[in-house]
Amino acid sequence: MGKYLLRRLAINVVLVAIAASLAYLLAATTMNPRAAYEGRQPPVAEHVIDATLDAYNLNDKTPVLERYATWVSGVVTGDFGKTWNGGSVNDEMGRRIWVSLRLLLIGTVLGFVIGVALGALSAIRQYRFTDRFVGVSSFAIMAIPVFLMATLLAIATYNVNRGLGFTLIEYTGEYNPRLSGWDQLLNRVNHLILPTISLTLGSVAFYSRIQRNMMLDVLGQDFVRTAMAKGLRRRTALTKHALRTALIPSATYFAFAFGTMFTGAIFTEKIFAWHGMGAWLVDSIHQNDVNSVAAVTFFTAICVLTAAFLSDVLVAALDPRVRVS
């Protein structure tokens, strides 16, 4: 067991290193942070730009490999370097992770719970009205890409607010910094409503499809029949025996989603103007921010691998068949 974990850890470390390096090299060779300084009015002297860029390890006049070496020596000590305008990448990341988490936690959990419930229900009521309704709705929702859904929600809210003449539901930003205490908390909750809806709808649709399929697979199996042959009611047999078994695959997806939650939601964050990890990904590209790009990649790789590990652990915990005895 210990040996297995060590081997897996080693492989993962290598994967993360390669992924981050690839991203760094790609960004460092294709991006042009100089552009942000060159176009300034009044113009900045070239040697000043060079000095600034050198200080941030972003100077395209330095050979790529040299910059890479500097970057690596920083990363191994836990320092991801400077952003394009000299901020600390570490600080930026530390702040943004929590923004993403605050945004996503509720939606992720809610989406899973509602989705599983609806999926199980529609499997039990296969081909009846509930099933058809859930099925059609989830198909419709899955056909609407997140960015469209978020835009639609924002437009709708804008119109509602305008019609009412006051802001009923907030649709940009995380909170209003001018408020404090309970008001601020309420205001934060208000800001959460739209993004949470947009996130939840998608995952409800996703989980309900998965759970329905899994549940249908299990429903036809012998052990559900055995449970009823013992004298359990159909409903009890379904929840206690079928649902418990059919939950395993959805739960692993959930574990994965939970682990990657920290990497943010690109579209939701951008459209509702939350400055989380997802938005950073887009911003850093627009700003030619090489070190941030590399840091985001690094972080994403770690999250994905941790999430994969998490879901493996969860399978082992939920399913005695794969547990190591």
Partner 1 sequence: MRSKVVIGRLFRNRQARYGSIALILLVALAYIGPFLGSYDWTDKDFLAFLSPPSADHWWGTTTIGQDMYAVTLRGMQKSIIIGLLVALISTGLAAVVGAFAGYFGGWVDKFLMWGVDLLLVLPSFLIIAIISPRLRGATWLWFVVLLAAFAWMITSRVVRSMTLSLREREYVLAAVYMGIPRWKIIFRHIVPNLSSLLIIDATLNVSAAVIGEAALSFFGFGIQPPDVSLGTLIAEGSRNATGYPWLFAFPAGLLVLLVLSINLIGDGLRDALDPGSNS
Partner 2 sequence: MSILQVRDLTVTFPGDIQAVRGVSYEVSRGEVLGIVGESGSGKSVTSLAIMGLLPRDAVVSGSVKLHDRELIGVDEDELVKVRGKSISMIFQDPLSAFTPVYTIGDQIAEAVRIHQKMAKDKAAKRAVELLDLVGIPHPDVRAKSFPHEFSGGMRQRAMIAMAIANDPDLLICDEPTTALDVTIQAQVLEVLKTAQRETGAGIVMITHDLGVIAGMADRVLVMYAGRPVEQGPVDELYYRPRMPYTMGLLASIPRIDGEEGPLVPIEGNPPSPAALPPGCPFAPRCPMRIDSCDEEEPPLTPIGGGRHVACIRSREIEHKGLTGADVFPVPVIPPSDVVRVPREQRPTVLELDGLVRHYPLMKGAVFKRRVGTVHAVDGISFDIAEGETLALVGESGCGKTTTLQQIMRLEPPQGGRVVVLGKDSAHLDRAARKSLRGDLQIVFQDPMAALDPRMPVGDIIAEPLRAHGHKDVAARVAELLSLVGLAPEHAERYPQRFSGGQRQRIGIARALALDPKLLVLDEPVSALDVSIQAGVINLLEKLKNTLGLSYLFVAHDLAVVRHLADRVAVMYLGKIAEIGAVANVYDRPAHPYTQALLSAIPLPDPEMERTRKRILLEGDLPSPADPPSGCRFRTRCPKFARLSEAERRRCVDEEPSVVRLASAADHGAACHYAEEIEVITASGDQEEK
Q: Using CB under 8 A as the criterion, which residues of the chain lie in contact with partner 1 when the complex forms?
A: 15-16, 18-19, 22-23, 26-27, 30-31, 126, 139-140, 142-148, 151-152, 155, 158-159, 209, 212-213, 216-217, 220, 263, 266-267, 270, 281-282, 285, 293, 296-297, 300-301, 304-305
β-partners of residue 82 are 88
With CB under 8 A as the contact rule, the residue among 3, 40, 47, 178 that binds partner 2 is 3
Binding segment (CB under 8 A) for partner 2, from list 28-36, 99-107, 258-266, 308-316: 308-316
Q: Which does 1 bind (CB under 5 to 8 A by kind): partner 2, partner 1, none?
A: partner 2
In terms of CB distance, is 134 or 175 closer to partner 1? 134
Among 139, 173, 233, 282, binds partner 2 (CB under 8 A): 233
Q: What's the angle, vertex CA 136, arms to CA 130 and CA 142, rounded to 5?
A: 130
Interface pick for partner 2 out of 78, 182, 222, 286 (rule CB under 8 A): 222
Using alpha carbons, list the distances in angstroms from residue 56 to 43, 76, 95.
20, 17, 20
Residue closer to partner 1, measured from CB, 107 or 119: 119
Q: What angle (nearest 5°) sits at the alpha carbon of residue 225, between those of residues 207 and 227?
A: 90
- Coil/strand/helix, residue 82: strand
Q: Is residue 128 close enough to count as binding partner 2 by CB under 8 A?
A: no
Q: How far is the CB of 302 from partner 1 (least distance, A)?
A: 9
Examine residue 234 and tell whether it contacts partner 2 (CB under 8 A): yes
Six-digit token string for 278:
């997802």
The C-alpha atoms of residue 320 and residue 325 are separated, in whole angstroms, by 9
- Rounded CA gap, 199 and 106, in Å? 9
CB 268 within 8 A of CB 199: yes
Does residue 60 contact residue 32 with C-beta atoms inside 8 Å?
yes
**Which of 167, 176, 175 is closest to 103 using CA atoms?**
175
Instruction: Please select the residue that binds partner 2; options are 40, 47, 178, 230, rule is CB under 8 A.
Output: 230
d(CA 229, CA 96): 55
**In this chain, which of 152, 173, 244, 282 binds partner 2, going by CB under 8 A?**
244
Q: Total residues at the site for partner 2 (CB under 8 A)?
A: 33
Q: Is 77 in the site for partner 2 (CB under 8 A)?
A: no
Helix/strand/coil (H, E, C) string of 135-176? HHHHHHHHCCCHHHHHHHHHHHHHHHHHHHCCCCCCCCCCCC
Nearest distance in Å: CB 246, partner 1: 12
Quick check: 105 binds partner 2 (CB under 8 A)? no
Residue 26 contacts which entry, partner 1, partner 2, none (Cβ below 5-8 A, type-dependent): partner 1
CB 99 within 8 A of CB 274: yes
The site partner of 323 among partner 1, partner 2, none (C-beta below 5 to 8 Å per kind) is partner 2
Coil, helix or strand at residue 273:
coil
CB of 152: closest distance to partner 1 in angstroms? 8
Residue 282 contact partner, candidates partner 2, partner 1, none, CB within 5 to 8 A by sort of partner? partner 1
Rounded-to-integer distance, Cα 196 and Cα 180, Å: 22
The answer to whether 68 and 21 are in contact (CB under 8 A) is yes
Residues 245-274 that bind partner 2 (CB under 8 A): 245, 248
* Residues near partner 2 (CB under 8 A): 1, 3-5, 221-223, 225-234, 241, 244-245, 248, 312-313, 315-316, 318-325
